Structure 1
Amino acid sequence: MTTPPLHGIRIVEIAGIGPGPFCGMMLADHGAEVIRIERLGDATVTALAKDPLLRSRRTIALNLKNPAAIAAVQRIVATADGLIEGFRPGVMERLGLGPDVLLETNPRLVYGRMTGWGQTGPMAPQPGHDINYIAQSGALHAFGTAGGKPQFPINMVGDFGGGGMMLAFGMLAAILHAQKTGQGQVVDCAMTEGSAVLMSMIWGFRGSGRWNDARGTNLLDGGAHFYDTYETSDGRWVSIGAIEPQFYAALRRVMALDGDHWTAQFDPRQWPALKARLTDQFKTKTRDEWCAAFEGHEVCFAPVLSFDEAVTDPHNAARGAFVEAGGLTQPAPAPRYSASPTVAPVMPAGHDETLLAELGFGKDEIVALSSSPA
């Protein structure tokens, strides 16, 4: 068995919420040693053990108002390939843990900064959350039904897709650069820009005249009758994605959609009427009856599964898409590799003072840091 692909890389994660921990989880899932530094007294063991974002790394607790603790963090970071932090601009500098200080000691360090607005610009010092960042980037404008208000897709686009995942990519790109050149650097990851990047294809559609600004009237936003979700007779839902001609033809066969009006697949003027007819037809059978009807036909069809249903779904089960760790069901690490394993999730058991000893701290130093008077 080979080692995970990021084996040998050490990351220091300054504790935060949302996108920063997601970045740390991704790196840890794929073999990096991620050392998470919590503020003393911030988190209980119970809270740590129920958060998949904190899996597969070890945690130490320090009082970052104590100069000795700051010195300890500096000492640990001197041995690391990267650091992740998610404070507002200037906070780490005021703590004495800014990039200028840490890169002077460790010139190969990749210093990952996760914010909503970025390190510069008029909005940089302002607070915000996912919903605000994707609103500012223009991404939120695209989500919602025709004639309705913008509907935010929980916090997938800003915090995780445009934030944590983007930072993980940036960290690895900069670490590869540092390994080749010896030069570390700051990665300035802003969720506004990350969420904008996720919309690149839509900007392309818009530029070629294939996307308009009216929500719910386009090919991929629920405007098209052949790319949407539909309620079934038992109050459940199915999804249809029959874009290509062969898949649309299969949809017509399964549902007996006869008549010339169904041939105008890409005529947006016909979409509302065709969608209304599909809405009525899908309500004539249960979700499972439609699953049986579509079985074996290449329509691009899938039932909309609940959380519990997704875990027990035969395909997901065959792939091991979900695992249990510490009594908590959660998504398994992804993607998969042909030669390298990912890391089996392990939930944190609390703060690990033995880690300080492994990092070279003496017994007296550990005692002093554990009590850490301000």
Structure 2
Amino acid sequence: MNSTDQTPGPLDGLRVLELAGIGPVPFAGMLLADMGADVIRLDRVGRGAHPADVDELRHTSINLRGKRSLSVDVTKPDGRDIVLRMIETCDVVLEGMRPGVAERLGLGPDDCMSLRPELVYGRMTGWGQTGPYAQVPGHDINYLALSGVLEGIGRPDSPPTPPLALVGDFGGGAMFLLFGVMAALHEVARSGSGQVVDAAMTEGAALLNTMNYSMTAAGAGTMKRGEHFLSGAAPHYDAYRCSDGHWITVAANEPQFYRELRDALGLDGEAWEDQHDRSLWTWRKTQLGTIFARATRDEWCARLEGRDICFSPVLDMFEAENHPQSLDRKSFLRRDGVLQPAPAPHLSRTPGRVSTSPPRIGQHTSELLTDLGVSVDLQRQWESEGVIGSRVVER
């Protein structure tokens, strides 16, 4: 079946309220919006320092694409009541504030689920809602450090290497938050009752490390920094610098791929035969470094791409957009002049899509309040009192 831009996504009919935040929670909301959910972002009234709080920069806040914006001051009683009325129409709430903040605002799980018992209330923090660290501030690198992941990332005799903010915030955080939310939604269909999803980035990051726990238990791996064959210790699994300063990667772990690598590079002799002889790894790595430094990245691509070596060039974000694989699968798109990854994964019948650009702050407040049955006169009163933050539009 051929899809069109009008094909409803797989989450069409699901309504989500996302309490404004930065990083992982907006990313989780974006993934739901990409798949057709009606995601309403609860924005603060007024302007903040983050690009997501500045109208002139909202188009660069990719995590807000496909959403609607409701601008309400939840510290005012009428503002809190507006949000609770909105939650009565929602299936999911997403929030990433420090434990206890939502409760102090009157928007905690008990407040919301008393009005909508089938609600799934998704909470994400670095450490989790309980425990001695629950109230301690932190960022991705802190969560990876405590989870046992960061110690294993990096080169020997070098400090642990922070992998951007991808493993804790987004892999261990947003992805596991959504996994929990989708599991809870599935269970609602059976029981009719919602529940709270308590997603901790430390636990998600640790769970992503499961394979290394298994390998270490079996004596096939180590989490000592730079000594694991998947962390750059093995010469056949690493990145190498080319003559033009660009880099390529090889990952010839399996015997058949290693044989192909040897054949392609002319790696003859006994010193190359036993792939897993660690006593030769340092020497082999030096030899491969010398070999790959003899040609440019593009020259190596022309020579090695398409062969059973497990080879690819190291591209930056803008180069990745124009790689033939990306072009064939339409892996990237540009909207409002902003380069961004396209929705993923691909669904054959009801694919995801970017339905709208990031909304202006409060762009849909009047629309949403009108749908709740709030009169234009009351909306104007709330606007004058600072309860809502958008210009009221007659409908």
Q: TM-score, normalised by structure 1?
A: 0.97
Q: Give the distance between the partners of 1:79 and 1:349, measured in 2 at CA.
A: 21
Aligned to 2:392: none
Shift in Å, 1:218: 1.3
Q: Label 1:93 to 1:283 Cα distance change in 2 as closer, same or farther (>3 A).
A: same
Aligned to 1:15: 20
Shift in Å, 1:373: 3.8
Classify the secondary structure of the residue corresponding to 1:261: helix
Look up the equivalent residue of 1:270 and give its one-letter code.
L
Deviations 1:52-99 (A, max 9, x none): 111100001111111100000000001110000111010000001110
Q: Give the distance between the partners of 1:62 and 1:296, measured in 2 at CA.
A: 54
Q: Choose the corresponding residue for 1:89, options 87, 99, 108.
A: 99
Classify the secondary structure of the residue corresponding to 1:114: strand
Q: Choose the corresponding residue for 1:41, options 25, 41, 46.
A: 46
Q: Give the distance between the partners of 2:59 and 2:74, measured in 1 at CA.
A: 23
Moved more, 210-219 or 354-363: 354-363
1:62 and 1:370 in contact (8 A); partners too:
no
Shift in Å, 1:206: 1.1
Aligned to 1:369: 382
Deviations 1:177-215 (A, max 9, x none): 112211100000010101111111111111111222321
CA-atom RMSD, angstroms? Answer: 1.3
Deviations 1:339-360 (A, max 9, x none): 1121225222312232221233
Shift in Å, 1:269: 2.2
2:342 and 2:353 in contact (8 A); partners too:
no
Q: Give the distance between the partners of 1:296 and 1:22, measured in 2 at CA.
A: 34
Aligned to 1:263: 273
Q: How does 1:1-374 map to 2 (within 5 A)?
A: 1=3, 2-42=7-47, 43-350=53-360, 351=362, 352=364, 353-373=366-386
Q: Give the distance between the partners of 1:92 and 1:349, measured in 2 at CA.
A: 24
Q: Label 1:324 to 1:71 Cα distance change in 2 as closer, same or farther (>3 A).
A: same
Count of residue pairs the alignment pairs up: 374
Q: Give the distance between the partners of 1:300 and 1:258, measured in 2 at CA.
A: 19
Q: Give the distance between the partners of 2:125 and 2:57, measured in 1 at CA.
A: 23
Look up the equivalent residue of 1:187 and give its one-letter code.
V
Q: Label 1:344 to 1:213 Cα distance change in 2 as closer, same or farther (>3 A).
A: closer
Classify the secondary structure of the residue corresponding to 2:179: helix
Point out 4+ residue stretches in structure 1 off by more than 6 angstroms: none
Gapped runs of 5+ residues in structure 1? Answer: none
Q: Label 1:66 to 1:157 Cα distance change in 2 as closer, same or farther (>3 A).
A: same
1:325 and 1:346 in contact (8 A); partners too:
no
Gapped runs of 5+ residues in structure 2? Answer: 48-52, 388-395
Q: Give the distance between the partners of 2:250 and 2:382, measured in 1 at CA.
A: 57
Classify the secondary structure of the residue corresponding to 1:210: coil
Shift in Å, 1:319: 0.5
Q: Give the distance between the partners of 1:104 and 1:93, measured in 2 at CA.
A: 13
Look up the equivalent residue of 1:211 and give its one-letter code.
G
2:65 and 2:359 in contact (8 A); partners too:
no
Classify the secondary structure of the residue corresponding to 1:269: helix
Moved more, 231-240 or 269-278: 269-278
Moved more, 331-340 or 295-304: 295-304
